[in-house]
Structure 1
Amino acid sequence: MVFVWSYLADGDPLYTLVQVATNDLIILIAFAPIVGFLMGLNEVPVPYDTLLLSVVLFVVIPLTAGYLSRRHILRTKGPEWFERQFLPKLNTVSIIGLLLTLILLFSFQGEIILENPLPHSPHSHSADDTDIPHLRNSLRVELALEATPP
């Protein structure tokens, strides 16, 4: 997805490659310990085999498949065919895949997004409080109440 976004934004493909490669190497090593630690802080038990499985499914398998398919295509069809035929087709498929991924993500999460449109905090105001002077005065009152000793 990062490559597709970079392509759509007319980014530098070599810089993107270095960023993605570095990120993947860090994820291979640090994802499971970091997520395990952070989930433990929130007292959410996540087994390490689940974390390791997610690294294998979402990082190791795609990287290996990409490496092996590229190597196979270069060996059987040659670099010129890879550059002129395969990459333009893959580019189109990648953009369609990105759009389908976004559609699926938002369609599965649509109900949750609609039920919780804004984050709630004790000091958040309702969507109707668009009057700036009113918000400013409310904030002054809240700050004055917090500063007043009990």
Structure 2
Amino acid sequence: MDSKTEELWSQEKQHWFDGASFYERELAPGAAMVIPYPAGLQDRADALEGLKPARQWEAIELYDQNVTRKGDTVLLSYRVVAWRDCCSAPLRARCASTYLDDDGRWLRLSHEREPIQDPASKVAILRRPDRNAARLGAA
């Protein structure tokens, strides 16, 4: 994997943890998002509004990762298992993100997330990460 591809996968993983701050920094003008909540096609402004205030993901696992590159545009597609502190079951989804190399800075043009039922997948054995009790405010 070349350094640009590694940089993109790192950026893609970071969006799961940074939420709105990621989108404010990295979402291109005119970008489009297709995510289940709030449902439907969203432009940049809608996506930013929909993420405030949002609970962030505490852990993620990406698998079945693919990269398609055409000039300055790169499509990352993958499956994800993601955990939030508010939910007992993880999110399982198919995702695709398109990035544009804008003079050395990767901007996200689009993202699509489709929840799936995938109990027989190779990540079915994954367990929720141990919680840090102090981080969650427990005594």
**TM-score bracket for this pair, using the shorter chain length:** under 0.3
**Richer in helix (by share):** 1
Report the TM-score when normalising by structure 1. Answer: 0.21
The structure with the largest strand share of the pair is 2
Structure showing greater radius of gyration is: 1
**TM-score normalised according to structure 2 size:** 0.22
